[in-house]
Amino acid sequence: MAEQFQKATFAGGCFWCMVKPFDQWDGIEKVVSGYTGGTVENPSYEQVKTGTTGHYEAVQITYDPKVFPYEKLLEIFWQQIDPTDAGGQFQDRGSNYRAAIFCHNEEQKRLAEATKQQLAESGKFKKPIVTEILPAKPFYPAEDYHQDFYKKNPNAYHEDRAKSGRDTFIASHWGK
């Protein structure tokens, strides 16, 4: 049974805002908030937020590609971020809040690069698409209080998300 599942890893700024868009679909087994891409083994939130570990706040999605293909995950990902911002995402600034796609295999890399090119050619954004496509690195789950934050702390989640400007940006670029 476990063989049917694959992993996808995306960084899109604050990981609290990146769970819910993926968490509500058939074929998604789980979405875990965590840290990846850095040099410190098993970092804490306190270490990552300093920006000195090289880690990104990210989500790792376990999914069934027969039910929910990677292409659909990419479509959702691109619509959650500002792909033209290399300095963080929305109100969250710094290297730990950069957007990136972490590829677990060559097929994911090929699809990620293709969708990035399509987005660049779409004319949807006036600035260049700078979101990085990188090889997957070890993923470290964040502390328990970060997991499913939108479910555990709905008021704080909605307040933070509203303050961030993310939803306004998404609506203006994707009409949602």
How far is Cα 19 from Cα 148, in angstroms, rounded to an integer? 7
165 pLDDT higher than 60: yes
How far is Cα 174 from Cα 176, in angstroms, rounded to an integer? 6
Mean pLDDT of 62-84: 97
Amino acid at 40: V
pLDDT of 176 reads: 66
The residues, any chain, with a CB within 8 Å of residue 161's CB and separated by 6 or more, are: 16, 17, 167
Percentage of the chain with pLDDT > 90?
Answer: 97
1 pLDDT higher than 80: no
- 116, 133 Cβ separation under 8 angstroms: yes
54 pLDDT higher than 70: yes
- Tell me the two tokens of residue 117: 């090119």
65 pLDDT higher than 70: yes
103 catalytic residue (yes or no):
no
Residue-averaged pLDDT of the chain: 96
- The tens digit of pLDDT for each residue in 95-154 reads 999 999 999 999 999 999 999 999 999 999 999 999 999 999 999 999 999 999 999 999
CATH number for the 6-166 domain, one of 3.30.300.30, 1.10.1040.10, 3.40.1210.10, 3.30.1060.10? 3.30.1060.10
Quote the pTM value.
0.96
Exactly one of 6, 10, 13, 14 is catalytic; name it.
Answer: 14
Q: Which residue ranges make up each domain of the chain? A: 6-166
- 82, 20 Cβ separation under 8 angstroms: no
pLDDT of 3 reads: 75
pLDDT of 38 reads: 97
